[in-house]
Structure 1
């Protein structure tokens, strides 16, 4: 239960940190396929831009092949200090970012603290504006007041994860989706921290404590400025030989039209267009049946892929999922 004033609306998904050893493939994926702006920092670091901010994706060399941190832009120092106070009040360690770390992310006043599934959470103020103009194939990306997209996570403890983001960021439940894939029943919770339909999605297998996804994240999303940008990047992904996970389709809940490509690190990357914007005065959570109105069909999935998912699900039974217990006390009851 938060005792400080709500920070809802003052928080926006700002950047993602990815650890990978596949720099050559990632550069081709990010610039030539998806269409983002690329900046080489040094031999072990590179960045992608979506807009005038210096960094939206920071890639660093390492073995994880996964997302290792998410950065949340906090509008003002008062809200920043409220979030910091909440974390410290629960006895969770908070570490200040160094000047070099803040510079790499293109931000000021950087703090980090533990997050669910080992994904470090970072908060910052005042993103720095790049001096160089954008050089990218896309005409633009939708960021602004709603942040830069969303992150989707699979979990064996979805209620605790929802509580974590409620306790830290005052996240609100937007809606649910019930879906059955290959006989496995999933429930997906969609959380928002501003008027973007969701900045966090949490998927769980109903009735079974398994996590079928190897990576900490299932997918990332960015929002294209135009439908042409979606279509053209979809074509480039195919032509450059990157794997497509799901074909073009439209979601039931946020109505976003999108496709899912598979990144060089293995998790998926959704490029979407035109999701609904939440009206806080009228919105009520509801449950949708199935993730898509049309499309989003699996592309090139083999029986080996399915068996691999079952193998990872089995391995997850023996693996303890970290929810940062001090910050994920429930106070929330859902199905």
Structure 2
């Protein structure tokens, strides 16, 4: 059911603001985030560190713990009205919410922090204001693109893509941007790209067509940040290689958002995409389409062995019997796409 019937849309007032990662590999993450990717690093305590992309105090919060995974997505709401609408939607569907403590809000550098369950075990956190950090930033880059489009995107894999899409529609009024059909090692995938503002997508949802399998261990398959200049991307690519971090996919260009990018492997095992110059969406003219293949050129796998492929196959096979929580109360019933 369209939200306009019961609640005004929050589309355009929602922006991906920060990402929370749980890891024991702080030393490796310092080298990866600061020295390879080029972000500003703030060491807070022995159990917490942050990376910055811009004036915001926090874009990535790393907490010490065993998950080696993304655990939460933080969404910036432009105003208290949009915040309250989302809270009403979530609680109105019987899903519990939890207010963040002062300490939790301070770690994230935000005000009015609230969290609730999300698909794939990814906690969704919303807030209304981000604090700015001290200048200058110490980064190996000219800058990152954030602003009204948010800080980038996340991509996840799911056995229930319709429900995941329904969740982000119900909660954030996410709109379908387009699809990609891709075949990798004989396996057919469909990827749905969802936007909550002018950025081409803030969430991508990949699924194996007609098979209830999920070959990815982590909650997030990859996350993306956007650099300001082409040289920023190529220089970080060289630093990733020189510092000995694994490269998942070499430089290439996507078919749908036209972003030029590469994918590195993080110390925690999910992928990290550094991209440049994706298109933005004109809401007056855009129509969803289906693209064949994820890349116009490039994005070729780097260093993948038969052992890696077998391990991924085993993960996929085990996932058949593993329960996947899509938060059914918020997943909607009206979305049936191809």
Matched, 1:221 2:209: no
1:38-68 per-residue CA deviation (whole Å, 9 max, x = no partner) reads: 0001000000000000000000000000000
| Shift in Å, 1:132 | 3.3
Matched, 1:148 2:148: no
Output the CA distance in 2 between the equivalents of 1:10 and 1:329: 21
Query: In structure 1, what is the equivalent of residue 134 of structure 2?
Result: 131
Matched, 1:320 2:323: yes
Secondary structure of residue in 2 paired with 1:230: helix
Aligned match of 2:14 in 11, 14, 26?
A: 11
Query: In structure 1, what is the equivalent of residue 312 of structure 2?
Result: 309
Aligned match of 1:254 in 254, 257, 262?
A: 257
Secondary structure of residue in 1 paired with 2:124: strand
Unaligned segments of structure 2, at least 5 residues: none
Output the CA distance in 2 between the equivalents of 1:130 and 1:47: 11
| Shift in Å, 1:138 | 1.1
1:56-100 per-residue CA deviation (whole Å, 9 max, x = no partner) reads: 000000000000000000000000000000000000001000111
How high is the TM-score relative to the length of structure 2?
A: 0.99
Query: In structure 2, what is the equivalent of residue 193 of structure 1?
Result: 196
Secondary structure of residue in 2 paired with 1:70: strand
Unaligned segments of structure 1, at least 5 residues: none
Q: How many aligned positions are there?
A: 335
Output the CA distance in 2 between the equivalents of 1:205 and 1:190: 15
Which 4+ residue blocks in structure 1 deviate beyond 4 angstroms?
A: none
Query: In structure 1, what is the equivalent of residue 114 of structure 2?
Result: 111
Output the CA distance in 2 between the equivalents of 1:23 and 1:132: 24
| Shift in Å, 1:330 | 2.2
| Shift in Å, 1:126 | 0.9
Output the CA distance in 2 between the equivalents of 1:330 and 1:147: 28
Query: In structure 2, what is the equivalent of residue 266 of structure 1?
Result: 269
| Shift in Å, 1:231 | 0.3
Secondary structure of residue in 2 paired with 1:133: coil
| Shift in Å, 1:329 | 2.2
Tell me whether 261-270 or 129-138 shows the greater mean CA deviation: 129-138
CA RMSD, 1 decimal: 0.5
Matched, 1:169 2:193: no
